[in-house]
Structure 1
Amino acid sequence: MKLELKDIRKSFGEKEILHGVSFAVESGRALGLLGRNGAGKTTTIRIIMDVFHANSGEIMLDGEIFRPTASQVGYLPEERGLYPKKKVRDQMVYLAMLRGMNKKQANESTVKWLDRLHVSEYIDRNLETLSKGNQQKVQLAATLVGEPQLVILDEPFSGLDPVNAQVLKDVIRELIREGRIVIFSSHQMSYVEEFCEDIAIINHGDVVLSGHLDDIKDTYGRGRKTISADNYSPQELADICREKLSSYAAVERVTKKYVVLELKTQADMWQILDICKQAGVEIHQFGAYEPSLNDIFISCVGDEEPDTEAAKEAV
């Protein structure tokens, strides 16, 4: 399956929030939908689910108009949507039946997903009596109880300790292996890197970057090197590089472990190393720079202020 958003535009009153959002996600792969608060992520998700109607543009599933009422969609919101004073079983069975299951199927699916997420012991408890982490796992079970083919996860690791986070990671990997379409939205970039082959970054209602994450990393790493030393801290090394290597490279950034150099045209690697050695630098590492997703995200939107008015409209 392939879900495609084509030139999606959305306005609230006279203010356009989405300015032609386009991206695609295929089954068996996860797409990381990223952006700062107010960027347009939630509005985009709500349009996919037909909570909002786009002013223009199309959403296609395998070349046909996507109709959420005819397709199983599971949505895990950032803010929990279950009823705290209702029993877990009752809520999940009700939701499964809303999605087309009969009562027997709904009960079986409820038991299956609560067991898979290690919260089956709470099946007849009111949700509010559970810990925050277990409430989050029940919320995910409720998202999956209808066996959706399209799964949208918004900050799914919120409130989870490392053990429970691992349970959730295993479930997400299973969903991907089973060929479901997974859209993953989070500000925790390490999780996005772990699951997502593709990303789409939205900023002020525009997709400013999209594509295969490995290809994007290759592009962003091109023309950059990392260097570290045994006898100088990264900051001290950066000062030396600024003084001695100005004709060959510029210091782009300094991390806790190394300095990132942006090479100038026709920079000679061996000459850079010779200059550093002549300056008394005991080189520990010199090699290709692979940017993290966090680096890429900040380079795309880090200097921009979030559109707070757009955020208010999208709530």
Structure 2
Amino acid sequence: MLNAKNVTKKFKQKLVLDDISLEFKKSKTTGLLGNNGAGKTTLLKIIFQEYRCDSGEILFEGKKMTRVDYQKMFFFTENTELPKNMSVEEYLEYILNLNSLKLKNSTAIEKYKWVFNFEKFRKSKIEKLSDGEKKMLSLFVLFNLSPELICFDEPTANLDFKNKDIMIRAIKYLKDLGKTIVIITHLISEVEKLLDEVIVFRDKKIIFQNSLEKIDNLQKTYEDLVRQTDEEFLKERFG
């Protein structure tokens, strides 16, 4: 569904992504793993055109991307920047209008109330919601839009047990619907069973790609790859 080809990105003189090529396969769930600063989130921001790459290209459905089709793509960020002074109802109506949808015609309000209780919070200002409630609101918006490609950046981080369970069930539900899903996470054990493909970033490059069914122990495989970096880092500085 989406390909990155030879993507390189620098911020001033600092290299952030070094000749990255990968594929997100249609109706598959791909995990992007790696330490902070490895380039995972930067790649997603390039895909969603928050950043421009210095070289390379992004292809969506076989064609070079010139703009983001938000009816087909959704970026669920770790710290979603929601408009604080809007009510929940105003925000949902605004997002639906941007995608040529109407709140009054939405059948998702009742269908997906297990994700977020819209009726309870519809008049609430977003700034009054807890961090967990804001994340559930973003998930609820996602269900209303029903895009084909969904990219999650740390979806289960900073959630209590109940909302974490809802998030994992929601991703499983989207996977069963045949959505193409990308997950950036450090909490591998929480999402491992959802993954079909695994890509590991290290030092601005991709160092490992494989299907989950070919990996005996994902946590150990990942830790071994990261530990090598840590040992090199410590040896370089402390001998």
1:280-307, Cα deviation, whole Å (9 max, x unpaired): xxxxxxxxxx42x2211121122425xx
Stretch moving more, 37-46 or 115-124: 115-124
Equivalence for 1:299: 224
Equivalence for 1:3: 2
Task: Measure, in 1, the Cα distance between the counterparts of 2:95 and 2:107.
Answer: 11
CA contact (8 A) 2:108 2:143 kept: no
Q: Deviation of residue 32 (structure 1)?
A: 0.4
Equivalence for 1:117: 115
1:84 aligned onto 2:9:
no
Superposition RMSD in Å: 2.1
In structure 2, relative to structure 1, the CA distance for the partners of 1:127 and 1:77 (3 Å cut) is same
Give the counterpart letter for 2:81 in structure 1: G
In structure 2, relative to structure 1, the CA distance for the partners of 1:122 and 1:102 (3 Å cut) is closer
Task: Measure, in 2, the Cα distance between the counterparts of 1:96 and 1:75.
Answer: 15
Q: Deviation of residue 169 (structure 1)?
A: 1.9
Equivalence for 2:11: 12
- Specify the structure having the higher radius of gyration (Cα): 1
Q: Deviation of residue 24 (structure 1)?
A: 1.2
1:10-54, Cα deviation, whole Å (9 max, x unpaired): 122223211111111222211001111111011101011011111
Equivalence for 1:96: 96
Alignment of 1:142-291 (within 5 A): 142-215=141-214, 217=215, 290-291=216-217
SS of equivalent to 1:33: strand
Task: Measure, in 2, the Cα distance between the counterparts of 1:300 and 1:85.
Answer: 44
Equivalence for 1:28: 27
Q: Which runs of 5+ in 2 are unaligned?
A: 231-239
Task: Measure, in 1, the Cα distance between the counterparts of 2:131 and 2:53.
Answer: 34
Highest relative contact order (Cα 8 Å, sep 6+), 1 or 2? 2
Q: How many residues align?
A: 228
CA contact (8 A) 1:27 1:176 kept: no
Give the counterpart letter for 2:149 in structure 1: L
Q: Which runs of 5+ in 1 are unaligned?
A: 218-289, 306-315
Give the counterpart letter for 1:158 in structure 2: A
TM-score scaled to structure 2, two decimals?
0.86
Task: Measure, in 1, the Cα distance between the counterparts of 2:2 and 2:222.
Answer: 23
Q: Deviation of residue 185 (structure 1)?
A: 0.8
CA contact (8 A) 1:119 1:134 kept: no
CA contact (8 A) 1:41 1:202 kept: yes
In structure 2, relative to structure 1, the CA distance for the partners of 1:57 and 1:96 (3 Å cut) is same
CA contact (8 A) 1:75 1:143 kept: no
Give the counterpart letter for 1:119 in structure 2: N
Task: Measure, in 1, the Cα distance between the counterparts of 2:107 and 2:13.
Answer: 45
1:184-231, Cα deviation, whole Å (9 max, x unpaired): 11110112312111011111210010120221x2xxxxxxxxxxxxxx
CA contact (8 A) 1:136 1:159 kept: no
SS of equivalent to 1:304: helix
Q: Deviation of residue 147 (structure 1)?
A: 2.1
